[in-house]
Amino acid sequence: MSVTQPITTPPVREAPEHNPFESMLRRFDKAAETLGLDDGLYQILKAPEKELKVAIPIQRDDGTYEVLEGWRVQHNSAMGPCKGGIRYSPHVNVDEVRALAAWMTWKCAIVGVPFGGAKGGVRCNPREMSLKEIEKVTRRYTSAIMDIIGPDRDVPAPDMYTNEQVMAWIMDTYSVHHRHTVTGVVTGKPWGLGGSMGRKEATGRGLLTMVREASRVKKLDLAKAEVVVQGSGNVGGTIAVLLSEIGVNIKAMSDIDGGLVNEKGLDVPALVAYIEKHRTLDGFKGGDRCSNQELLELRCDILLPCATENEITPANAGKLNCKIIVEGANGPTAADADAILDSNDVFVIPDILANAGGVVVSYFEWVQDRRGYFWDERDVNNRLHKTMQKAFRQVLKRTKTSKVNMRTAAYMDGIDRVAHVTKMRGLYP
Ligand code: NAD
């Protein structure tokens, strides 16, 4: 290969104002203190086990070369092989990936799947890349992290701007190097290629169980409720469709380009079909435009932030006008906004519980791949619902016994289990 074109590297981005890893640590500290976690375990559980940073050189379609940065962070493997998505985003940085990896550790423990926590990210802008370029990035990133992933080591999955196709490329690249097909190396694969029925919708479907459970606790009649969804990708789009299918009024939705609001309720199936076709909700007739900030502050019963981190901060937490928040995204609320939401009596179902449906069905997919026997969709959905409902009720119970909010109770559940397993395994050497 002769490099005749200039090599360009995307500009290094500023770390976000609210560092997601710091947010994770603040909640971890609070939960660890309430649990009375001993100092040794505290040190072990908060430190990521392994962090791999890789350079990903690719040739763009116009012939130029670019070197992208990528990471894979394995936070904790006490419970089993690490598990966590891969994110393509122009803003991703190592602290974000660290936080996401730690959240996976607690999430897996809360829902009782035998995985540890990991996450990966590549700093790139898939909205400005062709499919061929995304494939090149995926295959090169896979080969760069190949030594630390595998069905018994670390099993990636989709996250923001990665999907079933990206998972198929990862599986294929890994399999080519291993000289046989290894379906269990990733989850979230297409059906027919080791994918599970119901995986694509699993995070949204898990959110539906959360919405139902939270409404029951708050005595909210879902048939009369108004719901606002931020983000209309895999997670936001799915929960909006599922809620609209049972007759719930979706008052507003958004994507990265802004929001759409309709007091009478959006035509969700038409909107989702429009987004699929145009890759934006911009131009859809059937609602008034608003910004993502305005959308968050709309009066509603249930707010579902399903886009990205730090959307709810001390700057806007006091202006939110909802009774329940169900966090579809990872880290949508900065740690210093928690107290404001509590003082306004907002019932928050935290990310590490609310959006765990994805990893639950990823676990089902991994099990099916290992056995080579695949379940039908109803079976997957029933098991998912039962797992999510059980986790919700366990966390709710802890809020009462420990007199804490849902977020601290969820962290306590996750940390308690990983601490227990860590103690049983003992320390090597
Ligand atoms: P996606 O790429 O399918 O969709 C992301 C959506 O968010 C898009 O509609 C995009 O336009 C919008 N968005 C991005 N940046 C935004 C911004 N700054 N403001 C408003 N909207 C913005 O991603 P996804 O898989 O739906 O993931 C969304 C969130 O859910 C992420 O935080 C992810 O970590 C989390 N999550 C995903 C899964 C999963 O199974 N996909 C599981 C658990 C958690």
pLDDT tens digits, one per residue of 140-162 = 999 999 999 999 999 999 999 99
- Rounded Cα gap, residues 262 and 328, in angstroms: 22
> What number of CA atoms fall less than 13 Å from residue 330's CA on the CB side?
28
Is 107 a residue of the active site?
A: no
> Tokens 């791949």 — which residue?
369
Q: Are 165 and 99 part of one and the same domain?
A: yes
Q: Let me know if residue 15 belongs to a domain.
A: no
Mutate to test the pocket of ligand 1, among 256, 292, 303, 362 (most ligand atoms within 8 A of CB): 256
pLDDT in tens, 218-237: 999 999 999 999 999 999 99
Mark whether 337 and 212 lie in a shared domain: yes
Range of the domain at 163: 49-183+358-364+403-429
> Is residue 22 included in any domain, yes or no?
no
CATH number of the structural domain spanning residue 329: 3.40.50.720
Number of Cβ within 10 Å of residue 67's Cβ equals: 12
Q: Is 151 helix (H, G, I), strand (E, B) or coil?
A: coil
Q: Could you tell me the pTM of the whole model?
A: 0.95
Strand partners, 57: 67
Are 239 and 207 a contacting pair, CB within 8 Å?
Answer: yes
Same domain, residue pair 409 and 281: no
Whether residue 43 is contained in a domain is answered as no
Q: Is 355 in the pocket of ligand 1 (CB under 6 A)?
A: yes
First and final CA of the chain: distance in angstroms?
Answer: 46
User: What is the arithmetic mean of pLDDT over 122-126?
Assistant: 97
Final residue of a structural domain among 316, 333, 354: 354
Candidates 30, 119, 251, 323; catalytic one: 119
What is the chain's percent helix, strand, coil content, to nearest 5? 50, 20, 35
Q: Looking at the structure, do residues 179 and 214 belong to the same domain, yes or no? A: no
Query: Is there a single domain that holds both residue 121 and residue 77?
Result: yes
Contacts of 4-7 with C-beta under 8 Å, sequence gap 24+, read: 5/59, 5/63, 5/64, 5/65, 6/64, 6/65, 7/57, 7/64, 7/65, 7/66, 7/67
Report pLDDT for 2. Answer: 36
- pLDDT tens for residues 102-111? 999 999 999 9
Alpha carbon distances (Å) from 202 to 1, 138, 183, 312: 43, 23, 19, 24
In a domain, 127, yes or no: yes
Does 263 lie in the same domain as 346? yes
Q: Ligand 1: does its nearest atom lie under 6 Å from the Cβ of 237?
A: no
With a cut of 90, say whether residue 347 has pLDDT above it: yes
Instruction: Give the E-state strand segments of 183-262 in sequence order.
Output: 226-230, 249-255, 258-261
- Is 428 inside a domain boundary? yes
Is residue 165 one of the residues assigned to a domain?
yes
Residue percentage of the chain with pLDDT more than 70: 96
Q: Are 23 and 331 in contact (CB under 8 A)?
A: yes
What integer pLDDT is reported at residue 231 of this predicted model? 98
Domain identity same for 415 and 349: no
pLDDT at 10: 37
Q: What is the CATH number of the domain that holds 156?
A: 3.40.50.10860
Average pLDDT over residues 362-370: 98
Q: Which of 336, 354, 372 is the endpoint of a domain? A: 354
pLDDT tens digit string along 49-88?
999 999 999 999 999 999 999 999 999 999 999 999 999 9
Which ligand 1 atom is nearest residue 232's CA? 9
Mean pLDDT of the chain: 95
Whether residue 263 is found in the same domain as residue 156: no
Statement: residue 384 has pLDDT above 50: yes
Domains contained in the chain, number:
2
Closest protein CA for atom 21 of ligand 1: 256
Write the residue with the smallest CA distance to atom 27 of ligand 1.
160
Closest C-alpha residue for ligand 1 atom 38: 159
Residues 55 and 175 in one domain: yes
329 CB within 6 A, ligand 1: yes
In a domain? residue 24: no
Average pLDDT over residues 392-404: 98
Q: What is the pLDDT of residue 7?
A: 34
248 & 327 share domain: yes
Dihedral sign for Cα atoms in the order 137, 139, 140, 142: positive
In a domain, 35, yes or no: no
Nearest CA to ligand 1 atom 39: 159
415 shares a domain with 303: no
| 95/208 same-domain check | no
Give tens-digit pLDDT for 3-30: 333 333 333 334 456 899 999 999 999 9
Average pLDDT of the segment spanning 403-427 = 98
